[in-house]
Structure 1
Amino acid sequence: MAKQDKYTRELATEEILLAKRDKGLTFDEIAEAIGRHPVWVASAIMGQATMNAEEVYALVKLLDLNPSITTVLQDFPMKGSLEDRIPVDPLLYRFHEILQVYGTTMKAVIQEKFGDGIMSAIDFTMDIDKEEDPAGDRVVVTMNGKFLPYKKW
């Protein structure tokens, strides 16, 4: 793919992922070079977070990207990358299925422990780990969000 002079978020993501693949780098390795958490870096690369100038220039240098890509990576993104329909990708569908099956349970337990409110997706971190298991490796997803109580007025 020829390097662009102007980028959309989608084109920037595509070029970054191709360069990541071509250089054989992981999100962990890119995150180390940028100085951020690997899940946050993956989110920024996928167009869901805004990089600052220092972060974006480290990415450009590491992946040997066209410097004109820096502008779009510093723009405020449109949050939410999935379409309105149920995801068909099997991995994404399983998260949808988890919410369908356990969503009301999660809500009930959270509200029993904290009261009437929500978990922030703004003041939020997430870790994704691999747990080795002889019966088959396990995916461990830890979401950590600030509790925000509903306000009475």
Structure 2
Amino acid sequence: MPAIDKEEAGQIVNDARIEQGLTWRELAQHIDKPLVWTVAALLGKHPVPRESAQAIVEKLGLADDVITALARQPYRIADVDLATDPTVYRFHEALDVYGQALKELIHEEFGDGIMSAINFNVDFAKHEDPQGDRIVVTFNGKFLPYQW
């Protein structure tokens, strides 16, 4: 039987999670990893440490080939189709509108450099508001100065 790839493993995990009525947060807590990182990793964007992959597979009752697929190093490439999803597109739109301003502020506050997406954390929260619940997304990246 041919090995499954990371994308297929992610679909298998997500289908099993939904079928069993589990949330992403419950899976993240089960392996003691950050919520957003866990979702991204289980969907194929990060290599999942073998012991964490094993714990997920056991919790969901999946085959061992899912462990191998989850543990593999991913290809991190842009997905043109995903960019057209309305939720994902709004992140692109927000960066189109605020990206230049954020770049200016990074340079003003930190100097000539960038925010790392490798030494990086991202957090997600729901903020209840009487005028409509709010989505709070926090990017927390190390400042990397340009070195000439």
Bin the TM-score by the shorter chain: over 0.9
1:19 to 7, 16, 21: 16
> 1:79 — aligned with what?
76
> 1:118 — aligned with what?
114
> 1:138 — aligned with what?
134
- Note the residue ranges of structure 1 that are not aligned, 5 or more in a row: none
Which letter does structure 1 place at the counterpart of 2:33?
R
In the TM superposition, what is the alpha-carbon distance from 1:98 to its structure 2 partner? 0.5
In the TM superposition, what is the alpha-carbon distance from 1:90 to its structure 2 partner? 0.9
Matched, 1:149 2:148: no
Normalising by structure 1, we get a TM-score of: 0.92
> 1:59 — aligned with what?
56
8 Å CA contact 1:127–1:141 kept in 2: the answer is: yes
Matched, 1:46 2:43: yes
Q: Does the residue aligned with 1:47 lie in a helix, a strand or coil?
A: coil
Residue range with higher mean Cα deviation, 71-80 or 132-141: 71-80
Q: Does the residue aligned with 1:133 lie in a helix, a strand or coil?
A: coil
* Fraction of identical pairs, as percent: 43
Normalising by structure 2, we get a TM-score of: 0.95
Distance 1:101 1:86, change over 3 A: farther
Q: RMSD between aligned alpha carbons?
A: 1.5
Detail structure 1 runs of 4+ shifted over 3 Å in the superposition: none
- Note the residue ranges of structure 2 that are not aligned, 5 or more in a row: none
Q: Does the residue aligned with 1:31 lie in a helix, a strand or coil?
A: helix
Report the Cα distance in structure 2 between the residues aligned to 1:81 and 1:151, rounded to whole angstroms. Answer: 27
- Number of residue pairs aligned between Structure 1 and Structure 2: 148
8 Å CA contact 2:6–2:72 kept in 1: the answer is: no
> 2:94 — aligned with what?
98
